[in-house]
Amino acid sequence: MKVDMHMHTYFSDGTMSPEEIVQKAKMREVGILAITDHNKLESWEELQKAAAKEGIIPIRGVEINAAYKDKVLHLLAYGFEDHTKLFELIDLADREMQRMSDDLIVNLSKIDERVSLEDFNAYEYDRRKGGWKGLHYLLERGLTTKLFEGFRFYREYGCDFPEY
């Protein structure tokens, strides 16, 4: 039996819904599937429903962004039950990732009139394009020409993973 234990949906930085991932898994004859979105649990219910229809065993998963000393880590958790402390940790990791982008936009707005925190907060993007909100915002406001070029701004302005 084939197993895929590390998939991302558009709830984090993937491009597909949980149902679309299940359909692809079925075509690839995957029998056990885990979605491990970054700091997000929203896909679990949809994964369960879609997997049940296709005879795939779903495993609850999440990828938690963390840091240890000067190292950035991605911790994978599988098969867990509802637990307040775990959910608080996942929520904290998600808030910190959001704060990285907020802080970057505040820093950039001091030197570039194309961006503002108010505009960023109101900004919506197509999650199916992958990536994350801050990267899309930088691209659409003309600060980058390619989606993942935006990571350099996070590093340059001290708003990268190690600082959070």
Q: Which of 104, 160, 158, 164 is nearest to 134 (CA)?
A: 104
Q: Which tokens go with 116?
A: 């503002």
Spatial separation of the C-alpha atoms in residues 145 and 1, rounded to whole Å: 42
Q: Is the per-residue pLDDT at 164 higher than 90? A: no
Residue 55 CA, distance from chain mean position? 27
71-78: strand order across its sheet:
2-7, 30-35, 57-68, 71-78
**101, 123 contact by CB (below 8 A):** no
Spatial separation of the C-alpha atoms in residues 83 and 24, rounded to whole Å: 30
This prediction's pTM: 0.88
Helix (H) or strand (E) run with residue 15 in it:
none
Buried b (16+ CB within 10 A) or exposed e, 89-107: bbeebbebbeebbebbbeb
Spatial separation of the C-alpha atoms in residues 9 and 61, rounded to whole Å: 12
Mind listing the pLDDT tens digit for each residue in 91-119? 999 999 999 999 999 999 999 999 999 99
Spatial separation of the C-alpha atoms in residues 99 and 82, rounded to whole Å: 25
Mind listing the pLDDT tens digit for each residue in 60-103? 999 999 988 888 899 999 999 999 999 999 999 999 999 999 99
Topology, domain 1-80? TIM Barrel (3.20.20)
Going by pLDDT thresholds of 50, 70 and 90, the confidence category of residue 154 is very high
- Extents of the domains making up the chain: 1-80, 84-164
